[in-house]
A and B are shown apart, each in its own frame.
Chain A
Amino acid sequence: MKEVELLIIGSGPAGLCAAVSAAESGAKVLVLERGFRPGGQLIKQTHMFFGSESQYASHRGVDIAGILLKKVEEYGDRIEIMLNSTAVGFYEDNVVTVLKDEKEYFKIKAQSVICATGAFEKSLAFPNNDLPGIYGAGAVQTLMNVYGIRPGNRVLMVGAGNIGVIVSYQLIQAGIEVVAVLDAAPRIGAYLVHASKLARMGVPILTSHTVKEAIGTDCLEAAIVCEVDDKFRPIPGTEKRYDVDVMCISVGLSPLNELLAMRGAEMKYVGQLSGQVPMRTESCETSIPGIFVAGDASGIEEASSAMAEGYLAGLCAAAKLGHVPADFEQRRLDYLSQLDNLRSGPVGERIRAGMKISQL
């Protein structure tokens, strides 16, 4: 059985920052990544990030992945990234079972673990929602920004949150027509700077609208949308038909953290954080000592917060293993204040409420 000091599950923004932070303190780190490349969802993000310099604001996500991987390389003697390796089990004695390349199955025993497993796109219930041509908005972003492939010719975007409007804009950048963006909420959820770009390009953003049904035999051919009232009930007679071959579903994400539940960490449903999340201390430690969580796995936020949480969790996990840098407390407080800033203002209200409920 392979033994490691610190095991990090996931190599997205949270996992990579945690690895760098822990290695900087002197910990030996193994990062498991189920995909064939590190970087998580950063690699498909072509928009510039907000926030402050500490979270690489004004850089595009895809470039941030490069910056983080370069940092990982600097600590090459202390960080190993194992690709195509899925953590499939997490047991009481801190044994994690791994399936590598869909062939090798083995155990890793870790002194400490950071779960940075990210999130998963939600679906939306309506007749024929399983037709090919109906994809998660993030999936379409991967297809077009990572592989350079057009998802189709005419797109209906469902969801006017940040992902919905950003992906709509990126579709237009790639030369694809976006016929409309709709959202069941009465207001646009995205930052207005993103939504305004779309509005200026003439893309209608229909609030208080939902999908009534999808039409098609083998693939999506059209979508029927309708208005909803203030209780989200469809209003009869308001149906509109859009002939589209792609529908992107961008109705939020769910945290992926089944491994922590399996390990026995205390979990709680917190609507503000978009699902079942582990209870944790302000230093990202779960109810099980030495087991940490960071990024979307602890509640849905943005990549900027995931990075700050990753740095914090890496610092604190390493400290618990005896690698305490001289400026430990100063750095810990710095990451906490970065997170406070990212969660400040009316936009962060939900997150702040969710954090309170999930705090140990």
Chain B
Amino acid sequence: MRINQHPILTFDRGREINFTFNGQPMKGYEGETIAAALHAAGVKVLAKSPEKHRPRGFYCAIGNCASCQMTVDGEPNVRTCITLLREGMKVETQEGKGRIE
């Protein structure tokens, strides 16, 4: 899902970052947001809505709409579209409002 050739832009990807998504090992790049790296890996469903448990993806990518909130390193409601990947992050699909451990 990555664009490698582009007529205008060049993408200088940073060093590889290892993280997990629901326990599975994943790779992304430094300088990428969590939602971007997941999308590149084909993961579009980031959360389930609180009442009807409908799948949620990102919508605005500027941290405004709350559609991309996931549980990261045990902390719920992290806006993954504006949060940068860090080595060893544990990213999990969030059910509803999430739970504070």
Which A residues are closer than 8 A to B by beta carbons?
Answer: 34-36, 41, 46, 60, 62, 120-121, 123, 130-136, 138-139, 142-145, 147-151, 173-175, 218-219, 256
Using CB atoms and an 8 Å cutoff, list the residues of chain B in contact with chain A: 1-9, 11, 13, 32-33, 36, 39-40, 44-46, 49, 54-65, 67, 81-82, 84
Q: Which A residues touch B46, using CB under 8 A?
A: 132
A132 x B44 contact (CB < 8 A): yes
Contact partner, A148, options B11, B44, B61, B63, Cβ 8 Å: B11
Contact call B55/A35, Cβ cutoff below 8 A: no
Bound Cα distance A132, B42 (Å): 12
- Provide the residues of chain B in CB contact with A134, threshold 8 Å: 57, 59
Cα A72 to Cα B13 with chains together (Å): 26
A254–chain B nearest beta-carbon distance, Å: 10
Q: Which residues of chain A are within 8 angstroms of B9 by Cβ–Cβ distance?
A: 46, 62, 145, 148
Residue of B nearest to A148 (CB): B11
Expressed in whole angstroms, the Cα–Cα distance for A247 and B1 within the complex equals 17
CA distance A84 to B33 in the complex (A): 13
> Other than the known A132-B46, A147-B40, A218-B45, what 18 A-B pairs have Cβ atoms closer than 8 Å?
A36-B82, A62-B9, A120-B62, A130-B67, A132-B56, A133-B57, A139-B58, A139-B59, A143-B61, A145-B9, A147-B36, A148-B2, A148-B3, A150-B3, A174-B3, A219-B44, A219-B55, A219-B57
Q: Which of B5, B39, B45, B59 contacts A123 (CB 8 A)?
A: B59
CB distance from A359 to the nearest CB of B (A): 28
Q: Are A132 and B55 in contact (CB under 8 A)?
A: yes
Nearest-neighbour CB distance to chain A for B91, whole angstroms, equals 16
Taking a contact as CB atoms under 8 Å apart, the answer to whether B61 and A132 are in contact is no
The CA-CA distance from A256 to B49 in the complex, in Å, is 25
A149/B55 in contact, CB under 8 A? no
CA distance A150 to B41 in the complex (A): 10
Question: Which one of A35, A46, A135 has the greatest number of beta carbons of chain B within 10 Å?
Answer: A135
User: Does B6 lie within 8 Å of A148, measured CB to CB?
Assistant: yes
User: For the complex, what is the distance from the CA of A123 to the CA of B65, rounded to whole Å?
Assistant: 10
A237 to B: closest C-beta gap in Å: 30
Chain A hits for B36, CB < 8 A = 143, 147, 149
Chain B's nearest CB lies how many Å from the CB of A243? 16
> A residues within 8 A CB of B57?
131-135, 219
Chain A residues lying within 8 Å of B63, measured Cβ to Cβ, are: 34-35
Known: A46-B9, A143-B39, A149-B39. A136 touches B3 (CB 8 A): no
Give the top 9 A-B pairs by smallest Cβ distance, nearest first: A132-B57, A148-B11, A139-B61, A132-B44, A147-B36, A142-B61, A148-B3, A149-B40, A150-B1
> CA of A174 to CA of B64 in the docked complex: distance in angstroms?
26
A135 x B59 contact (CB < 8 A): yes
Contact (A148, B13) CB under 8 Å given A131-B55, A132-B45, A219-B57: yes
Give chain B nearest CB distance to A37 CB in angstroms: 9
Tell me if A133 and B7 are in contact (CB < 8 A): no
Nearest CB on B from A247, distance (A): 11
A147 to B, closest residue via Cβ? B36
Residues in chain B near residue A142, CB distance under 8 A:
61-62
Query: Of B39, B54, B61, which contacts A136 at CB under 8 A?
Result: B61
